[in-house]
Amino acid sequence: MGHDGACATATHLSNLHITPIEILETEFPCRISRFELVPDTGGAGQWRGGLSLLREYELLQNATVIRRYDKSRFPPTGLAGGKAGCGARFVIRLGTAQEAPMPSGRYEMQAGERFLLQSAGGGGYGDPPQRDAAALARDMAEGYVSAAGAKKDYNA
């Protein structure tokens, strides 16, 4: 018997810990306006990969943002017929004409600028059509898999 992947893991340090918004906003000059799981980001499979976590930040003062991450060019692969999870994303200057996905690096940013961090989704395990119908229905009810994703990935 298998199980689905863990959702919203912070893979940069402890692989399981997610720093609470209140701590981030206390320690850094930012406001977090979005903090959510992203539907359809876990790789499809008999056992679904964990969903990615998205956070959107607004800087409250000028700051240096250093971002190191992996899995943007090569998303987590699926195994035994499972599909890959989504890749990680780092997008700066949200909502402007200069909005752009960026590689890992050091960025000088201004107060009021917004950026987005999204972790990679985990790869699925096993052939997606073998997923238990009740598990897929639960995924859809929880918002983990959309109707379009269920149709595309699970032929449901």
Q: How far apart are CA 52 and CA 99, in angstroms?
A: 21
For a pLDDT cut of 70, what percent of the chain falls above it? 94
- Say if 2 falls within a structural domain: no
Q: In the predicted model, is pLDDT for residue 52 greater than 80?
A: yes
**Residue 4 resides in a domain:** no
Query: Is it the case that residue 153 has pLDDT exceeding 90?
Result: yes
Number of domains in the chain: 1
Helix, strand and coil percent figures for the chain, each rounded to 5: 20, 25, 55
Domain of 39 in residue numbering reads as: 21-154
**Quick one: pLDDT at residue 69?**
74
Residue-level pLDDT at 130: 96
Query: How would residue 19 be classed by pLDDT, with cut points 50, 70 and 90?
Result: confident
Q: Is residue 67 part of a domain?
A: yes
Distance CA 35, CA 28 (A): 16
In a domain, 127, yes or no: yes
pLDDT for 16 beyond 80? no
Q: Is residue 92 part of a domain?
A: yes
Is-contact 120 111, C-beta < 8 A?
no
Look at residue 46 and tell me if it is in a domain: yes
The answer to whether residue 33 is domain-embedded is yes
The answer to whether position 11 is within a domain reads no
Could you tell me if 56 and 94 are in contact, meaning their C-beta atoms sit under 8 angstroms apart?
yes
- Distance CA(59)–CA(54), nearest Å, equals 16
